[in-house]
């Protein structure tokens, strides 16, 4: 289940983060940029969860936990 960590992100930003997280899963990186500030995304995995977020603090991010 993927959740928005921040209530302030839009559906478009949410989809962008989902696409970026898929890129990280497939390629280990993404060429996509944050639509809000233009920064790169970073991706963390931790056991059954992962987080994809903008490198800018308190910008946009999503977290996925388990299956």
Task: Catalog residues that contact Zn ion under the rule CB under 5 A.
Answer: 34, 36-37, 39, 54, 56, 59
Q: Which two tokens stand for residue 44?
A: 């963390």
Rank residues 38 and 66 by Cβ distance to Zn ion and give the closer one: 38
In angstroms, what is the minimal distance from the CB of 66 to Zn ion? 26
Rank residues 20 and 54 by Cβ distance to Zn ion and give the closer one: 54
Strands 61-65 and 41-46: unpaired
Rank residues 6 and 37 by Cβ distance to Zn ion and give the closer one: 37
Q: What angle do CA 13, 67, 16 make, to 5 degrees?
A: 10
């Amino acid at each position: 289940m993927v959740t928005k960590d921040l209530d302030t992100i839009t559906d478009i930003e949410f989809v962008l983060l989902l696409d970026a997280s898929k890129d990280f899963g497939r390629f280990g990186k993404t060429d996509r940029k944050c639509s809000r500030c233009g920064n790169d995304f970073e991706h963390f995995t931790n056991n059954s969860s992962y987080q994809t977020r903008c490198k800018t603090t308190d910008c946009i991010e999503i977290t996925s936990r388990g299956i």
